[in-house]
Amino acid sequence: MFVEGALPGETVTAEITRVDKRWSRGRVVVVSEPSPDRIAVGCSHQLEGCGGCDLLHVESGAAIRMKQAMVVDQLVRAEVDAPAPGLRDLDDDQGRTTVRAAVVDGRAGYRIRASNDIVVPDECGAVDPLAEELLVDGRFGDAEEVQIRVGNRTGERLVVITGSDFEVELPDDVAIVTDTQLAAGKRSWIHEEAAGRRWRLSARSFFQNRPAGVDALVAEVQEMVDEYGTEGPLVDAYAGIGIFGGTIGAGRTVHAIERGRDSIADARVNLAGADAKIVKADVARWRPSPAHIVIADPAREGLGKGAVKALVRAEPNLLVLASCDPGSFGRDAKLLENAGYTLQRYTVIDMFPGTSHVETVAAFTPA
Give the phi and the psi of residue 294 in degrees, each rounded to 5. -120, 130
Percent of the chain at pLDDT > 90 equals 92
Question: What residues have CB less than 8 Å from 121, skipping those under 6 apart?
Answer: 45, 50, 109, 110, 135, 136
As a whole number, the mean pLDDT across the chain is 95
Q: Which CATH superfamily is domain 65-91+210-366 in?
A: Vaccinia Virus protein VP39 (3.40.50.150)
CA–chain centroid gap for 222, Å, is 18
pLDDT score at 289: 85
**Exposed, middle or buried, 304 (CB in 10 Å: 0-12/13-18/19+)?**
middle
Q: Decide if pLDDT at 73 tops 90.
A: yes
Residues of 269-302 as b/e, b for ≥16 C-beta within 10 angstroms? ebbeebebebbeeebeebebeebbbbbbbbeeeb
- Torsion angle, CA of 254/258/263/269, rounded to 10 degrees? 20
C-alpha distances (whole Å) from 349 to each of 54, 171, 324 are 17, 34, 10
Question: How does pLDDT run across 114-161, given as a tens digit for each residue?
Answer: 788 999 999 999 999 999 999 999 999 999 999 999 999 999 999 999
* pTM score, whole prediction: 0.93
Mean pLDDT of 8-25: 93
Instruction: Report pLDDT digits (tens) over 153-202.
Output: 999 999 999 999 999 999 999 999 999 999 999 999 999 999 999 999 99
Bridge partners of residue 107, in order along the sequence: 104
Going from N- to C-terminal start, the domains of the chain cover: 2-38, 65-91+210-366, 98-195
